[in-house]
Structures are given as C-alpha cells and as structure tokens.
Amino acid sequence: MTGLLGGRTAVVTGGAQGIGLAIARMFVSHGARVVVGDLDEARLDAAVEELGGSSVARAAVCDVRRGEQVERLLRCALDAFGAVDVLVNNAGITRDATLRTMTEQQFDDVIDVHLKGCWNGLRAAVPIMREQGRGSIVNMSSLSAKVGNIGQTNYSAAKAGIVGMTKAAAKELAPRGVRVNAVQPGLIRTAMTEAMPQRVWDAKMSEIPLGRAGEPEEVAAVVLFLASDLASYLTGTVIEVTGGRSM
C-alpha cells in the first residue's frame, strides 16, 4: 500500500466537481479508496470513471442537508470498502445578495448546506470513527469567514460557524483518536469563481501577495496533509490557503 493514504477509505461530499473532485483525485493518487457524494448523478458517474472505476471509487447521490442521506453515504463507504478513515465536508453553494435584497430562503439555503451539512457529516462519522479508534475529518471553511465579503452575509456566517464547529468537535473527539481540522481557501480558480464579474476578480487579485489565484489541486494538497499521518499532532487547526491574502 503506497502513498500517504494507502489502504484507507475517504468520503468527500460535493466530490463530483471543483475542489471536491480535486480532493478525491488527490486521495486516489495517494492510495485511498474514495466515496464521493453530490446531487448531480451524471457528474457522479463521470467522477467514478475518472477516479479509476469501482475498485477505487464509489458514488452516491447525497443532499447534505438531510442527515439520513449523509449517513447513507458513509454506509456506502463501509459496505464497499469496510471503513471510513477520512471525511471531507466540502459540499457548498452560494446565494449572494446584499442585506437589502437577500431573502430568508437564500440565507437558509446557504446555512443549511454549509453549516448543517457539515454538522450532519460530523454526526454521521462519529460512531464509525469512535469504534475504529481513529479518523481524520476535514471541514471546508473559507477566507470569507475571516474577512467577510459584501453580498455574502449568509456564506461568511456559515463558513465562520464551521470554524467554531471544527474546534468544538476537535475537543470532543480527541480522546477517541479522531482529529478534526479546517481549511480556508481564498480565491481558487474554479468554474464558480471564474464566473465572477471581471472587476470583482481583479479586486480580489490585487489583494494576493503571490499575484495569482490558487488552483483546486493546491487546496487538495493541504486537505491530503491534514487527512494523513503527517498531521498526526494537528487537531482543531484552521489552515488558510490564500496566497497570502489578508495576512
């Protein structure tokens, strides 16, 4: 078994595209078997094929707002590969609007997917990882949790909540051998960010000391580190992947 995750099984929510798929791809390249959850069945099928087929990857439609669907996703990993060694709570959406125009539904949708979805993942993983006596959970926060963004009171609040949730869960689970950490990406080049108006993109770029946007693989590398034994003494930690933005 080679690689940093050789012989281990990982579950990635929102894993059929973007940063989630980059994480799944990185995990497989380091020896892991991966189960990805997402809402788009066609993308899930394509992801499994890209990751190497059913011997190393499985997929399940999963709405992270629904606790029973998250539990089913983790059971898929147990049934297929016999363990859940790593969980990445990555699923997310945006519903950007100013305070004046944001609806309650837009606020609730973002809180439900990011914050409740992350909690659902933690809650589903706890009994499995406690019994195993080991596990690594990585929650995807955002630089928006630290600095806030205009038009993202819902998103910034959800991502800040994930930081607090990560630290609380880390304290609860440390005696059971389970580590919980978070990652805060900044401007990462994905389909979602590349759809920004050019003026918004340029304004964000001007704040980055390294002078470029990050790539999904650069976020995936940090998630790999936290998932692996290289981070065996890290829990409750939040790592920024921002190119130095907002230092």
Q: Which residues are catalytic?
A: 155
Identity (one letter) of the amino acid at 169?
A
Distance CA 212, CA 183 (A): 19
The number of beta carbons lying within 10 Å of the beta carbon of residue 175 is: 8
Distance CA 226, CA 233 (A): 10
Beta bridge pairs of residue 36: 12, 59
Identity (one letter) of the amino acid at 244?
G
Distance CA 28, CA 33 (A): 6
Q: What is the largest CA-CA distance in the chain?
A: 55
Sign of CA dihedral 180, 227, 73, 134: negative
